[in-house]
Amino acid sequence: MWGSRYWQAEFWVLAFVTFVAALIGSLFERTLEVIAVIIFAYLCWNLIQLSRLFRWLTKSKALYPPSAPGVWGEIFNSFYSLQRQNRKEKRKLQDIISEFRASTRALKDGVLIISNQGEIRWFNKAAEALLGLKSGSDIGQRLFNLLRHPDFIEYEKVRDYEKPLMIPSPINDEKILNIQITSYNEGQRLVMVRDVTEKHHLERVRQDFVANVSHELRTPLTVISGYLEMLDPEVNPHLESVAKPLKMMRQQALNMGHLVDDLLLLSKLDSKIDTNGHKELDINLLLDTICAEARALSGDKNQQILFHSHTKATLKASEKQLRSAFSNLVFNAIRYTQVGGKINIYWQEDQTHYIVKVEDNGPGIDARHIPRLTERFYRVDPGRNRAQGGTGLGLAIVKHVLEYHNAELKIESTIGKGSCFYCYFSKA
Ligand code: ADP
């Protein structure tokens, strides 16, 4: 503060005046009184300057501060530059807000800001069009009172915003909306609403196409398989010369049958049609049956297949789907594990999950393949896997079935040591 020449001058003037006044006062033997008068006058002067400053800050409309000598001039100037700075910042912020408003107005996606309780604070034009909101009356309303689709209410209840939600638009059933909520700050949420009708339609066309093709393939395949069954060289010795091609044809027809079945099952899972419905399932019984089938499939591979049951828990699930998922995991283990290998199947639980675990000491899978294993037709070694009878859809089916049951697939594997597939069913 004393670095400023005004403050130094103020100090020296005050000191000089007080000194001179004290000298004059001493001539009349009134030193203290004279000093008191000088200080009182100085205080009054400061008070006047303070009141001028106060008036200028609160009441005056003048842009520039009143002029004043010495430090008060310095103080007025500092306030003036502070105010100018603030005005500049305010203008900058206003520009940013107007730009933000203009850009969100231009957005084709709906954007809403809602509070933790779901009250609407702000929304853009697209949100009005997609959700049928009215800017005049809907600000302050709870979004979940205006958008009453059961899936949306459930989405809000669970508040797991990891995945977006798809619901029909409340003003047009034929429009499909993708809703993504993101929490920010504390208690603020940003809701993005996107019209995905076209994408949804294309996805439906793709699913219907795969389902129809698979369905159409089934009948000719059944006829071919039926005739191939009849052309058995053991019953018809004159077919002995074509026994090998017939065997190959039978094998290929069988593989194709599995492929068609897997494609049909995936189509059903895609369209979320569960033909069997959900019922309380005895998982011990289910895994026991699958193990017996696995032993038959293993045949002369001389593998050790063991089932370890550590819980009696049941699951409310679709029997057909879970049978298919667990069979895929167990049959993969049989298929890819070498002769004499060990396969262990567990049904167990921890504090938060029920877990089906399928473990083998087979060749293992390179870590770089693991994230892609559940993609349709992804194979580690396409030629070999196809020759082993795989359709390339097994793990895609497992992933879909588990997703359908709010469960999760985890894969651990080490080359040369074996693989472990976990199905986590949340207890919640
Ligand atoms: P596929 O019908 O070819 O078996 P999946 O989707 O079931 O298709 O499996 C994908 C790929 O994952 C397989 O091609 C195989 O390479 C690999 N795989 C699956 N399970 C195992 C396992 N237990 N051990 C080693 N590799 C496996």
Q: What sign does the dihedral 126-132-136-138 (CA atoms) show?
A: negative
Strand locations in 29-129 (E): 110-115, 120-123
Shared domain check, 118 and 84 = no
Shared domain check, 419 and 375 = yes
Q: Is 332 in the pocket of ligand 1 (CB under 6 A)?
A: yes
Q: What angle do CA 229, 234, 237 make, to 5 degrees?
A: 110
* Residue 318 belongs to domain spanning: 279-426
Shared domain check, 419 and 366 = yes
Res 273: pLDDT: 56
Res 381: pLDDT: 84
Shared domain check, 283 and 419 = yes
Q: Is residue 94 part of a domain?
A: no
Q: Is residue 99 part of a domain?
A: no
Q: Which two tokens stand for residue 54?
A: 């106060």
For the stretch 316-327, pLDDT in tens is 999 989 999 999
Residue 340: band (very low, low, confident or very high) from pLDDT cuts 50, 70, 90: very high
Sequence-distant (6+) residues with CB within 8 A of 385 are 379, 392
Shared domain check, 208 and 184 = no
The percentage of residues in the chain with a pLDDT greater than 70, rounded to a whole number, is: 97
Please report the atom of ligand 1 found closest to the CA of residue 390. Answer: 2
Shared domain check, 341 and 266 = no
- Is pLDDT at 28 greater than 70 in this prediction? yes
Q: Which of 30, 59, 88 is the last residue of a domain?
A: 88
Res 3: pLDDT: 59
Residue for token pair 């309303």:
141
Please choose from 332, 338, 422 the residue to mutate so as to test ligand 1's pocket, defined by most ligand atoms within 8 A of CB.
332
Residue minimizing CA distance to atom 20 of ligand 1: 332
Lowest-confidence range among 22-31, 56-65, 164-173, 380-389?
Answer: 380-389
- Read off the pLDDT of each residue in 140-148 and give the average, rounded to a whole number: 88
CA–centroid distance, 181 to ligand 1, in Å, is 36
Q: Which of 150, 172, 195 is the last residue of a domain?
A: 195
Lowest-confidence range among 266-275, 306-315, 350-359?
Answer: 266-275
Q: Is 214 in the pocket of ligand 1 (CB under 6 A)?
A: no
Please report the atom of ligand 1 found closest to the CA of residue 389. Answer: 2
Residue 34 CA to residue 20 CA, distance in Å, equals 10
Residue minimizing CA distance to atom 13 of ligand 1: 379
- Is pLDDT at 413 greater than 80 in this prediction? yes
For the stretch 222-265, pLDDT in tens is 999 999 988 888 888 888 888 999 999 999 999 899 999 999 98
Q: Is 395 in the pocket of ligand 1 (CB under 6 A)?
A: yes
Shared domain check, 416 and 284 = yes
- Is pLDDT at 30 greater than 70 in this prediction? yes
Question: Is-above-0.85 flag for pTM?
Answer: no
Q: Are 425 and 354 in contact (CB under 8 A)?
A: yes
Shared domain check, 118 and 66 = no
Shared domain check, 137 and 76 = no
Res 29: pLDDT: 86
Q: Is residue 167 part of a domain?
A: yes
Shared domain check, 373 and 309 = yes
Per the structure, how many domains does the chain have? 4
CATH of the domain at 142: 3.30.450.20
For the stretch 193-209, pLDDT in tens is 999 999 999 988 998 99
Residue minimizing CA distance to atom 21 of ligand 1: 332
- Read off the pLDDT of each residue in 405-422 and give the average, rounded to a whole number: 95
CATH of the domain at 235: 1.10.287
Largest Cα–Cα distance in the chain?
152
Q: Is 373 in the pocket of ligand 1 (CB under 6 A)?
A: yes
Q: Is residue 95 part of a domain?
A: no
Q: Is residue 100 part of a domain?
A: no
Res 44: pLDDT: 95
Shared domain check, 142 and 24 = no
Considering the chain, what is the average pLDDT of its residues? Answer: 90
Shared domain check, 72 and 138 = no
- Read off the pLDDT of each residue in 307-322 and give the average, rounded to a whole number: 94
Q: Is residue 297 part of a domain?
A: yes
Q: Are 147 and 112 in contact (CB under 8 A)?
A: no
Q: Which of 172, 195, 218 is the last residue of a domain?
A: 195
Q: Is residue 101 part of a domain?
A: no
- Read off the pLDDT of each residue in 107-133 and give the average, rounded to a whole number: 90
